[in-house]
Amino acid sequence: MAIDTERQKRTMSLLSHSGYDALICSSATEVLLLTGYWPVMAQTVVVFSADGAVTAIVPEDEVGLAKKTSATEIIPYQPATLDTLDSPLSRLREPLRRALKSFSASKASVGIQMEQGLQPASYAVSAVFRPSFAALLSELLPEAKLSGCDELVETMKAVKTTRELEILHTASIVAAAGFQVAEKCIKTGRRENEIAAEIQTAFDTAHAAECLQRSYGYFFCMSGPNSATAAAAYARTRHRVIQEGDLVMIHANTCADGYWTDITRTYCAGTPSRRQEEMRSAIDEARAEALRSVRPGATGSEIDSAARSVMEAAGFGKEFKHATGHGVGFAAANPNARPRIHPLSNDALEEGMTFNLEPAAYFEGYGGMRHCDVIAVTARGAKVITDF
């Protein structure tokens, strides 16, 4: 696949402004950011140098996939073989040495990831690089200065390129295939896990995914009091039987070749009660106000305040328990991803940024309602990527 020159140029420019000679990343999300390839087992290492040269050390089993989504120079390696019981990291040493040749003589300034972060699941298992990886880099680059590039990387992930926006649009279309069956499969008497499985099947068999190498998704169903627990940092489908009058929340994190959505819709089992209608109308209005306030230059706290003041005026202030949103795209749900749509956030919106908008109200013991969309910032304001 042709290289994403927009991303490449932007990265080169940021490296030059920040004084780095190179970034070296091993976390799957940052490999995707720097190469366009999303590792499966997260055992890939990428070296992005300030002159635009990009080398990825890729497990042999993933080379075919890597070539389909990236034009980066690839050094294949075998993390595990029949011929050795060496540790995975020791298998990386020689290919890494090769990839680092151009820096070895210089006193390079190299950015690596130092801070705790959230990574989306790339497979049933995936690698974690612990302090020994930084130690190996220090050994291979004895004269280099290694420092944390975590903030820089967060900034880079915030604004998407044209191609990245296109893939997010595809991700939304595939996710919609799941949500399209939600309304008709939510019925009193059915269990949460049955409903989640039926929606998951519609997503897994969506024709729109045929253009993707990897289309994954997690769909969750939370009903009645369980939907109130969706205020937590994570969702969980249980075996509860839907009751007449329940709020039924369907939450999804889906991924198209490494680019993630964060989507929630809430349904009513039966005719909505007055209380449910009031929640719905407050959430709809909070969403509309937040969308109207989106423009380049607006801050995260302004958008949060636009939504929160509607919820407060409707009497749902303390039931809106979390921030109005956070950056989305390179991860499904990372409250630290930019722009943070949070009461204290000075993050300024820029064209091409993508984030979620998730006004909500949660009543413990009764239920929760949330509407969560993925939004892109354009010169003219908000564009709803998940417009279904």
Identify the residue among 88, 225, 245, 272 touching a second copy (CB under 8 A).
Answer: 88
Question: How far is it, in rounded angstroms, from Cα 250 to Cα 259?
Answer: 20
Strand-pair category, 360-363 with 367-370: antiparallel
Interaction residues for a second copy, span 185-204 (CB under 8 A): 191, 193-194, 196-198, 200-201, 204
Grouping H, G, I as helix, E, B as strand and the rest as coil, residue 111 is strand
Among 2, 85, 105, 379, binds a second copy (CB under 8 A): 85
Helix, strand or coil for residue 266? strand
| Six token digits for residue 344 | 């204290």
Q: Does 264 bind a second copy (CB under 8 A)?
A: no
Please state, in angstroms and as integers, the Cα–Cα distance from residue 164 to each residue in 4, 281, 351, following that order: 9, 33, 13
Q: Would you count residue 370 as binding a second copy (CB under 8 A)?
A: no
* Cβ atoms < 10 Å from Cβ of 104: 13
Among 18, 102, 119, 147, binds a second copy (CB under 8 A): 119
Least distance between a second copy and beta carbon 135 (Å) = 8
Phi, psi (deg, nearest 5) at residue 108: -75, 150
Q: What is the per-residue binding string for a second copy in 203-222, x denoting contact by CB under 8 A?
A: -xx---xx---x---x----
Q: Applying CB under 8 A, which of residues 14, 121, 181, 384 lies at the interface with a second copy? A: 121
Site string for a second copy, 313-342 (x = CB under 8 A): --------xxx-------xxxxxx---x-x
When asked if residue 353 is in the footprint of a second copy (CB under 8 A), the reply is: no
Q: Which stretch binds a second copy (CB under 8 A): 66-74, 130-138, 268-276, 351-359?
A: 130-138
Nearby residues of 96 by Cβ (< 8 Å), 6 or more positions away:
45, 57, 136, 137, 140
Member of 5, 84, 243, 309 binding a second copy (CB under 8 A): 84
How many whole angstroms separate alpha carbon 77 and alpha carbon 68?
A: 18
- Site residues (CB under 8 A) for a second copy, limited to 91-110: 92
> Strands 145-148, 109-112: parallel, antiparallel or unpaired by DSSP?
parallel
Nearest to 262 by CA among 319, 346, 330: 330
Which of 2, 125 has the CB closer to a second copy?
A: 125
Q: Does residue 13 contact residue 38 with C-beta atoms inside 8 Å?
A: no
Instruction: Closer to a second copy by CB, 344 or 379: give it.
Output: 344
Among 125, 184, 271, 379, contact with a second copy (rule: CB under 8 A): 125
Span 155-184, contacts to a second copy by CB under 8 A: none
Q: Does 130 interact with a second copy (rule: CB under 8 A)? A: yes
# of chain residues touching a second copy (CB under 8 A): 75
- The contacts of residue 222 (CB under 8 Å, 6+ apart) are 192, 229, 230, 235, 236, 237, 238, 248, 249, 251, 368
233 part of the interface to a second copy, by CB under 8 A: yes
